[in-house]
């Protein structure tokens, strides 16, 4: 099952009346949102964006509030959510094991992918990201609604944390010492330490290899197109193979705080390479611990 669903397929499913839970995981940063480790955003920008337009029948899912734990230097900017809190939202959304979940955002698919990975980590299996987000939906003929929308669903499924493989920060040295691959999927500028707009130090984890997620999403030349559509599975597989990745086994992925890396993991599954581990805390967790080394430049350290 692909982690992605086309807008045409989702539109057809809704037109048929298929039982489907749709989550709007569009994240709208507010001008007054605190940054770094100061806590959850205090504004309602994402909620206001949902009120202004959403796919009819979709539930509101703020990925920066509902799908993360409390930010802290010890665990990163977007740590794993508390299972009990996640269970509350599962119940509110009316999730059931036999009902597919479709997730969308404005089109970049970063926050939809974060939601996809968290729901998979929590035990759901039939979860897909809308390829192209809202723009693709309207291009397929779908309407957009305004107002409160769906507030509560009916259904139940227990959260089963740990249903997707996770790499903890304390296991990274052993992972690398065993000859396994650690992928940093941020842009090259952040990887080499040229710029760091979000975290406490610049650079990357020594031994990590850089494959920016935009390389998998971009045009045939590897340049990001900005179109927000997923290439064919064989295209993504070829791009990964060109960087030496031909299996999900013995591969772990990280980004700044588990958002870009979630999309990268979805693209690996799309290419037929499931099973990679996720270092969710990412560079935000690693960089906050001054006792841990930071590497600069292009060298992978391997």
38 has pLDDT over 60: no
38 or 235, greater pLDDT = 235
User: What's the CA gap between 111 and 114, in Å, rounded?
Assistant: 5
Farthest CA pair distance, the chain: 56
| Confidence (pLDDT) at 44 | 77
Q: Is residue 11 part of a domain?
A: yes
Same structural domain, 120 and 179: no
User: What contacts 178, CB < 8 A, 6 or more positions away?
Assistant: 250
| Confidence (pLDDT) at 298 | 84
User: What's the CA gap between 262 and 266, in Å, rounded?
Assistant: 6
Distances (CA, A) of 249 to 46, 243, 265, 274, 278: 36, 15, 12, 8, 12
As a whole number, the mean pLDDT across the chain is 90
Q: Is residue 299 part of a domain?
A: no
Q: Report, as an integer, the average pLDDT of 89-95.
A: 94
Q: SS3 for 121? A: helix
286 or 156, greater pLDDT = 286
Domain that residue 119 falls in: 4-139
CB 129 within 8 A of CB 5: yes
53 has pLDDT over 50: yes
Q: How many CB atoms lie within 10 A of CB 286?
A: 23
Distances (CA, A) of 298 to 32, 131, 163: 35, 32, 34
| Confidence (pLDDT) at 224 | 38
User: What b/e sequence results for 238-271 when a residue is b if at least 16 CB atoms lie within 10 Å of its CB, and e otherwise?
Assistant: ebbeeeebeebeebbbbbbbbbbbbbbbbbbbbb
Q: Report, as an integer, the average pLDDT of 142-169.
A: 90
User: What's the CA gap between 211 and 251, in Å, rounded?
Assistant: 12
Binned at pLDDT 50, 70 and 90, residue 155 comes out as confident
Binned at pLDDT 50, 70 and 90, residue 87 comes out as very high
| Confidence (pLDDT) at 35 | 41
Same structural domain, 119 and 183: no
Same structural domain, 189 and 240: yes
Same structural domain, 115 and 238: no
**Residue range 181-218, pLDDT digits in tens:** 999 999 999 999 998 888 889 999 999 999 999 999 97
- The distance of Cα 238 from the centroid of its chain, to the nearest Å, equals 22
Q: SS3 for 302? A: coil
What CATH number corresponds to the domain at position 76?
3.40.250.10
Same structural domain, 81 and 187: no
Same structural domain, 135 and 87: yes
**Residue range 265-285, pLDDT digits in tens:** 999 999 999 999 999 999 999
Least confident of 40-44, 85-89, 232-236, 297-301: 40-44
User: What's the CA gap between 213 and 262, in Å, rounded?
Assistant: 10
Q: Is residue 173 part of a domain?
A: yes
**Residue range 208-245, pLDDT digits in tens:** 999 999 999 975 433 333 446 899 999 999 999 999 99
Domain total for the chain? Answer: 2
Q: What is the pTM of this model?
A: 0.91
* Percentage, residues of the chain above pLDDT 70: 90
Task: Tell whether the torsion through CA atoms of 107, 110, 111 and 113 is positive or negative.
Answer: positive
User: What's the CA gap between 112 and 272, in Å, rounded?
Assistant: 20
| Confidence (pLDDT) at 85 | 94
Q: Is residue 155 part of a domain?
A: no
């Amino acid at each position: 099952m692909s982690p992605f669903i086309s807008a045409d397929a989702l539109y057809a499913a809704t037109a048929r009346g298929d039982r489907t839970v749709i989550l709007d995981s569009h994240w709208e940063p507010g001008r007054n949102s605190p940054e770094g480790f100061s806590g959850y955003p205090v504004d309602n920008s994402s909620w206001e964006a949902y009120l202004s337009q959403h796919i009819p029948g979709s539930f509101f899912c703020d990925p920066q509030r509902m799908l993360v734990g409390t930010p802290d230097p010890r665990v990163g900017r977007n740590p794993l959510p508390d299972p009990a809190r996640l269970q509350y939202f599962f119940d509110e959304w009316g999730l059931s094991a036999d009902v597919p979940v479709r997730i969308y955002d404005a089109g970049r698919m970063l926050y939809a992918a974060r939601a996809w990975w968290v729901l998979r980590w929590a035990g759901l299996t039939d979860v897909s990201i809308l390829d192209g987000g809202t723009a693709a939906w309207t291009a397929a003929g779908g309407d957009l609604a305004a107002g409160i929308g769906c507030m509560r669903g009916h259904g139940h499924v227990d959260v089963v944390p740990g249903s997707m493989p996770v790499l903890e920060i304390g296991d990274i040295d052993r992972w690398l010492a065993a000859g396994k691959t650690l992928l940093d999927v941020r842009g090259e500028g952040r990887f080499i330490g040229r710029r760091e707009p979000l975290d406490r130090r610049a650079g990357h984890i020594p031994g990590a290899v850089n494959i920016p997620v935009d390389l998998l999403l971009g045009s045939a030349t590897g340049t990001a197109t900005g179109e927000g559509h997923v290439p064919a599975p064989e295209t993504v597989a070829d791009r990964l193979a060109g960087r030496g990745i031909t299996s999900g086994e013995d591969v772990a992925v990280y980004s700044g705080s588990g958002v870009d890396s979630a999309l990268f993991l979805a693209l690996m599954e799309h290419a037929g390479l499931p099973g990679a581990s996720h270092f969710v805390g990412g560079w935000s967790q690693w960089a906050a611990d001054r006792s841990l080394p930071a590497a600069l430049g292009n060298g992978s350290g391997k």
